[in-house]
Amino acid sequence: MAAACFLSGPSPLARPPPRPRHSLRRLAPAAAAGPPAGPLALPASSRRPLRDLVPGPVAEAARRALAAAAGPLVVALASAALVLGDAGAASAFVVATPRKLQADELATVRLFKDNTPSVVYITNLAVRQDAFTLDVLEVPQGSGSGFVWDKLGHIVTNFHVIRGASDLRVTLADQSVYEAQVVGFDQDKDVAVLSIEAPKDKLRPLPVGVSADLLVGQKVYAIGNPFGLDHTLTTGVISGLRREISSAATGRPIQDVIQTDAAINPGNSGGPLLDSSGNLIGVNTAIYSPSGASSGVGFSIPVDTVGGIVDQLIQFGKVTRPILGIKFAPDQSVEQLGLSGVLVLDAPPNGPAGKAGLQSTKRDAYGRLILGDIITSVNGTKVANGSDLYRILDQCKVGETVTVEVLRGDKKEKIAVVLEPKLDET
């Protein structure tokens, strides 16, 4: 800048003729338009040989100083142009980087956008009578999630979401609300099907996938309405397969459950678990948490199990599941006796086991406990506890004859039992 100041002032050796003055505002467009035409980037009309301005040794010294300072001077002029120049000049130096998402982020955003219209919000209403006015009111006693199963208006959710409801309401993604009717439910597997009368253009069923070929580590996505919030997406991976949990309603074990670390909180129950292609692979049903909030251990009923149950509920309104017709002792009681198997506490005479001759636990005339039959295997498959018995029965059909091996006293006997359907639930 010293050279620039020297050239802009009058020389003590000669007074050059006056030349045009150029402000930074006028130089800014020229500097922004392209590379400078000369060392000072002055307009062509004002460029004159240095020897015409100052003679002799002074001109030579100035020329060398100017050449050394040409680079910093151009930068200084450009910076000044950004501050003092117009917006057009500044835009030539400022480059706005567009915001971009990675491929996996775009896939997640697209999955949520495509499948959110299929997820619904379910409100469970119960009738309560005011203690003072005796007015009968409908009070929300719970909520959960669900999803559209088909274009006929069938909604799939958990049984514990609708349990004890006098009225049910389903809110679609566009916030339209519909009264829902219960088509059927399966307490043992915690699955329920509702029906709403909504226009078909508002019903977008989820594509149903397969859960038999799932792998630990693959990505999964859970969509629901936790804590009553609007649609929420959580992501994670499959942490384990073939887990077993108990039904909240009956205590009967649910086998082959999917374990995931995708956050599942109160209100997520009944919502879908999706794979990376957006296919339904499970129904979120429970979490393991001492505090009641997500601890990274969630469970989903596999879609292969849910599909068969939903088809039966839609077609028949109930699930036909075979039973032995017995009541058995807790597993801990049998273990305390040093035995392995299922101890029959009661086998009603009108039930399948009672008809076949299985003996119940009873007391004699002196009050002493006489143990009933202890089931040790069914169809050759070992039975160590109640879960084993349920697992075997889930693979059987109504009307099928099974061979039950029991320990009666000190002897083992084999008894043929014809399985009967479970009584209708109300």
DSSP code string of 271-300: -EEE-TTS-EEEEEEEE--SSSS--S-EEE
d(CA 223, CA 115): 8
| 86 noted as active-site residue | no
The per-type count for the chain, helices as H runs and strands as E runs, is 12, 22
| Residue 395 C-alpha from the chain's centroid | 30
Query: Is there a catalytic annotation at residue 160?
Result: yes
User: One of 160, 231, 360, 388 is an active-site residue; which one?
Assistant: 160
Amino acid present at 81: A
Residue 65 identity = A
Nearest 5°: phi and psi at 43?
-60, 155
Contact between residue 237 and residue 263 where contact means Cβ atoms under 8 Å apart: no
Residues 6+ apart with CB under 8 A from 392: 378, 379, 381, 383
Structure tokens at 212: 């038999």
Query: Is 190 designated active site?
Result: yes
Q: Which of 186, 188, 190, 373 is catalytic?
A: 190
Distances (CA, A) of 262 to 5, 171, 247: 68, 24, 21
Structure tokens at 217: 């580590």
Handedness of CA 323, 324, 325, 329 (dihedral sign): negative
Please list the active-site residues. 160, 190, 269
